[in-house]
Structure 1
Amino acid sequence: MREISLDRLRTLVAIADLGSFAEAARALNLAPPTVSLHIADLEARVGGALLSRSRGRITPTAVGETLVERARRLLVDAQQALDDVQRQVQGLAGRVRVGASTGVIAQLLPQALERLGQRHPGIDVQVAVLTSQETLLQLAAGTLDIGLIALPQLPVKGLDIHPWRRDPVMAFLPARWEPPAVVTPAWLADQPLILNDSSTRLSRLTAEWFASDGQQPTPRIQLNYNDAIKSLVAAGYGATLLPHEASTPLPDARISMHALAPPLWRQLGIVHRAGDSARATAHVLDVLWEQGVE
């Protein structure tokens, strides 16, 4: 069965409002035979008369009134849909899906999203907590628009991966501890440790840092939630290795932060689909690039 076109419904509403085929034709910039054809087609579809002539004016029949009422709502909805899509095309509105780790979401995204809200309040950013590998898979599948991932990563066809920011990894210790002037793998390996679990790139980085001095410590606890790790450190339960972003507040007063020897860095990247021209995505990328540091 053919669908009823919006053009035909628009013609019906115009005749109902203006009371004349000729006036409707002028208002819609249509030829009079086209207006008649639209109404004939609608009446054939519904199987009854939609308009009647009374005292020289065209008015809807009872059936016509029902269709006119529904048609008005459909036309408003259709115009609203077009307006919404045009706002997205213009970058004034839209939905952008971002994937990142819990640490990145907690420490880095809020400032970027605050700037985005000031400049483009109509853009809705949906954030998913994902590992770097999950983010890459979802981007390749088209269910994400932007990912914030740990580097390095192997190239992925159809995705653009760029370095974003580089932050030092620091030793986070209970403040009551008395560490040496330099926190080394050998010293830290002898302490109770609370580290990221093996699903994270940071876990591999810290394992390599310990291994550089021949250390292979067994952590007391492994988590994939940096704020929970910091809470346990504050409670004196152990030490950890975590990135410290220069733009974020200092940790809890019950935690002391110390540089590592040798130094260790966490490198993050931005990834998005190659050729993505959506303006809303571009606006989100703009504020993220501003959040990046080298």
Structure 2
Amino acid sequence: MRELSLDQLKTLIAIIDLGTFSAAAQALHLSQPTISLHISELEQRFDTPLLVRGGRRVTPTAAGLTLAEHGRKLLRDADEAIAAVGRQVAGVKGRVRLGASSGILVAQLPQVMETLGRQFPDIDVNVSITGSAETLQGLEQGTLDIGIVAMPQNPSKEITIRHWRTDPMMAFLPAAWQAPKIITPDWLADKALIFNEPSTHMYRLTMEWFAAAGYAPRAKIELNYTEAMKSLVAASYGAAILPLDTSDPTRPQPMLQLRPLRPALPRQIGIAHRPLSTLDGASRNFLAILEQFRQSPGSKKTLRTK
């Protein structure tokens, strides 16, 4: 026996509203035999008459009225579901699952989210704080839609990665330290240091910078939260090498000194996602917002929206 269908419910409601099988057939653009089949299947499904035939107008039984009442709710829910999916596909409403590090989340994403809220207020971004390797894994497994990752990364057929930003790495020093205007590995190697965790791209960048000058310093503490690292520097616990927030380079850093590095140490950031053909409209629109904040390679300024 066929299960209950929305088409059958639509037919029942049309007959009750319009009073005849022929009027319902005309309104629904169906043949009268199809209309009769829908009602016959419904009555077999519930093993009870749903309509009283005879006279000039077809009337519903008590069971028919009850089914029609619930059917109207189901049809409204179905219409809402279709509209919701349409809005999701169109990209004006929906959810985007984003993976990004805590540093990116604090420094770059607030402006992105503000712009997204103005242009697409019904797109909800669900942010997971993840490292680059974990982000790429989430994209491959389908648990994330978009990721912001450190570059370079190993190429993948399933994942597209393109340059988004280049942020200069800086020496973050306690305010009380007597420091030169430019920080070199020679000067910094024997100081108390606060590093990112060894599993991170930032740690590898920092260690490569020291190694190129012949140093392999050990950190006093290792952790993976940029703002916590800055707080420890401000408390004179040690120095850290961190990216400058180029989205707002003039933002004051209380109790800190910022010094450029020599040799310069840039951090490259990329946007990663699965093929565009597999992304819904909400994810594609979020990518377009991210693109508004993209830096061309070698650019020193952040593209900003007004």
SS at match of 2:247: coil
> What SS does structure 2 have at the residue aligned with 1:57?
coil
Task: Give 1:101's aligned residue.
Answer: 101
Shift of 1:53: 4.1
- Aligned partner of 1:52 in structure 2 is 52
Q: How does 1:56-75 map to 2 (within 5 A)?
A: 56-75=56-75
In the superposition, the TM-score normalised over structure 1's length comes to: 0.95
Shift of 1:55: 5.8
- Give the match for residue 265 of structure 1: 266
The answer for the alignment partner of 1:252 in structure 2 is 253
Give the equivalent residue in structure 2 for 1:17.
17
Judge which range, 181-190 or 123-132, deviates more.
181-190
> Deviation at 1:283?
1.1
2:276, 2:284 within 8 Å by CA — same for their partners in 1? no
* Residue equivalent to 1:280: 282
Instruction: Tell me, in whole angstroms, the C-alpha distance in 2 between the residues paired with 1:21 and 1:62.
Output: 19
**Residues 1:37 and 2:31 are matched in the alignment:** no
Give the unaligned 5+ runs of structure 1.
Answer: none
CA distance in 1, matches of 2:144, 2:2: 36
What is residue 119 of structure 1 aligned with on the other side?
119
2: CA distance, partners of 1:201 / 1:244: 16
What displacement does 1:251 show? 4.4
TM-score, normalised via structure 2 length: 0.92
> Match for 2:260: what amino acid?
A
* Displacement of 1:50: 0.6
Contact preservation (8 Å) 2:18, 2:24: yes
Secondary structure, aligned partner of 2:112: helix
Residue 18 (structure 1) shift: 2.0
Shift of 1:94: 1.8
Which residue matches 2:227?
A: 227
Distance, in Å, in 2 between the alignment partners of 1:271 and 1:17 is 53
Question: Structure 1 residues 262-271 or 14-23, which shifts more?
Answer: 14-23
Distance 1:240 1:251 in 2: 17
Q: Matched residue of 2:192: which SS?
A: coil
Within 2, Cα distance between the matches of 1:43 and 1:185?
84
**CA offsets, 1:208-228, max 9 Å, x none?**
111112111111110100011
Q: Give CA deviations for 1:37-69 in whole Å, capped at 9, x if unaligned.
A: 110111011111011147633222121122111
Contact 2:206 2:241 in 1 (8 A): yes
1:246-271 deviations in Å (ceiling 9; x for gaps): 21352432111000111111001111
- Return structure 1 stretches of 4+ with deviation > 4 angstroms: none
Q: 1:103 to 1:194 in 2, by over 3 A?
A: same
The amino acid that maps onto 1:233 is: V
Cα distance in structure 1, aligned partners of 2:260 and 2:253 = 17
2:143 alignment partner, SS class: coil
Partner of 1:166: 166
Structure 1 residue 180: Cα displacement: 1.7
Alignment of 1:183-194 (within 5 A): 183-194=183-194
Identity of aligned residues (%): 51
Structure 1: how far apart are the matches of 2:106 and 2:91? Answer: 26
The 3-state SS of whatever aligns with 2:70 is: helix
User: Residue type matched to 1:148 in 2?
Assistant: I
User: CA separation in 1, counterparts of 2:242 and 2:25?
Assistant: 71
> Does the Cα contact within 8 Å between 2:181 and 2:260 map onto a contact in 1?
no
**Aligned residue type for 1:145:** D
| In structure 2, C-alpha distance between the alignment counterparts of 1:79 and 1:65, rounded to whole Å | 21
Count of aligned positions: 294
Q: What's the offset of the Cα at 1:70?
A: 1.3
Q: Cα RMSD over matched residues?
A: 1.5
Counterpart of 1:253 in structure 2: which amino acid? P
Alpha-carbon separation, structure 2, partners of 1:239 and 1:291: 29
**Which residue pairs with 1:87 in the alignment?**
87
The alignment partner of 1:86 has SS state of helix
Q: Give the superposition deviation at 1:181.
A: 2.6
